[in-house]
Structure 1
Amino acid sequence: MNDQAGTTGPVNAEPPLDGDEAATLLGFLERQRATFAWKTGGLDRDSLGTRHAPSSLTLGGLLKHLARFEDDMSTEWLHGRRQLPPWNSVDWDDDPDWDLNSAAGDPPEELYERWRDAVARSRVLFEAAMEEGGPSRQGSIASRPDIELPSLRYILLNMIEEYARHNGHADLIREAVDGLVGQDPPG
């Protein structure tokens, strides 16, 4: 994987051809993360703020959004924990796209670090959940057993879908920034 966005540790960007369900789900998620790291990597503030008209999306906004998504899926949906900072201090009713809209004021290093850290936290929590019950492990809230949360399988498929969607956006925006094109990161 091209590590321009500084993901945590080396990652094999190819899912296993003959893996079990857990390895396949995690492998496809890692490929999407690797593609996203490649499409957003190595850019300055101006490049991270580039828009591809008519959309208002930016690569910086996508970095921040996917950091939030990583945290929300792994902590709230899987473990039933409260939303992490800085997400827990946002008035989401006032600005439901705060993560996408507020990135323009953030330094690139902060955006990359926030995303890398969220990915690292998610990897740890997903691996623990796999060991606890595999893809069928249900999310849960210890203090609220009456609330049903989705399975790890559902969460991972939701993450793969969200990354794939935003990788398409990142592909168009990055091409507009510097002409970088391609489907998968080199290596």
Structure 2
Amino acid sequence: MTDSDTPWEPPIAGSEAEHLLGTLDRLRTTFRWKADGLDVEGLRARVGASALTLGGLLKHLALVEDHLSTVRLTGAPLGEPWESADWNGPDWSFTSAVHDSPADLYALWDDAVERSRARIGAALADGGPARLVHLSWPDGRHASLRRLLCDLIEEYGRHTGHADLLREAVDGLVGEDPPAGWKPRGAAGQGDPSPHGSAAADR
């Protein structure tokens, strides 16, 4: 197995920025793998009394990526597709996903992550993790980019755990990391017809 087979693996001994981004991208990839290759029913499946769904998590984390990399990072407007959305309460990003198609939900997350990577990469190039960002506290102190990245890592850590349980309940897919060579394929019926890869070996 080579590094190109597992590009989501964090560096062994990199810089602070490389480790922050490496940890974040490993969580992003694991989350995307857990949510991948499902149809409407799979993305709407729930576990127990929880209202969480994989579709809702895709939409929520897409919003988090865009909000952190605009409003919190630079003070820029959130932008589309969020500004023209019909918001309805604080849980809107979770609950409204029931009205979105699988293809739209996957594209929403993929596009938001691509934008976020570019914005965060530019900010890191302009001052590194210690640079201050737009987000501030009531006493006037500004957060660092390091703090934003740690917040995003925490957000993915929490919701990737949720995704673990939800995906296992849908079709039994388990595992800590995607199988070597894995690439996202989107909604059920698109791309490789075998989304499980070698995950069964991790059971």
TM category, shorter: 0.7 to 0.9
Supply the distance in 2 between the matched residues of 1:31 and 1:14 (Cα, whole angstroms): 6
Supply the distance in 2 between the matched residues of 1:11 and 1:70 (Cα, whole angstroms): 23
Q: Give the alignment partner of residue 78 of structure 2, picking from 74, 78, 83.
A: 83
Supply the distance in 1 between the matched residues of 2:49 and 2:157 (Cα, whole angstroms): 20
Deviation of 1:29 (Å): 0.4
CA RMSD of aligned residues (A): 1.9
Supply the distance in 2 between the matched residues of 1:65 and 1:147 (Cα, whole angstroms): 28
Matches within 5 A, 1:82-101: 82-90=77-85, 94-101=88-95
TM-score (norm 2): 0.80
Name the residue aligned to 1:133. 127
Structure 2: tracts of 5 or more residues without a match? 181-203
Name the residue aligned to 1:161. 154
Q: Give the alignment partner of residue 37 of structure 1, picking from 18, 32, 38.
A: 32
Supply the distance in 2 between the matched residues of 1:107 and 1:132 (Cα, whole angstroms): 38
Deviation of 1:91 (Å): 6.7
The structure whose Rg is larger is: 2
Q: Is residue 2:163 matched to residue 1:170?
A: yes
SS of 2:89's equivalent in the other structure is: coil
How many residues were matched structurally? 173
Where in structure 1 do 4 or more consecutive aligned residues deviate above 3 Å? 89-92, 146-149
Structure 1: tracts of 5 or more residues without a match? 1-9
What does the per-residue CA deviation read over 1:73-102, in whole Å, with 9 as the maximum and x for residues that have no partner?
A: 11111111112223224576x510100000
Name the residue aligned to 1:3. none
More helix by share: 1
Task: Tell me the percent identity.
Answer: 54
Supply the distance in 1 between the matched residues of 2:82 and 2:6 (Cα, whole angstroms): 27
TM-score (norm 1): 0.87
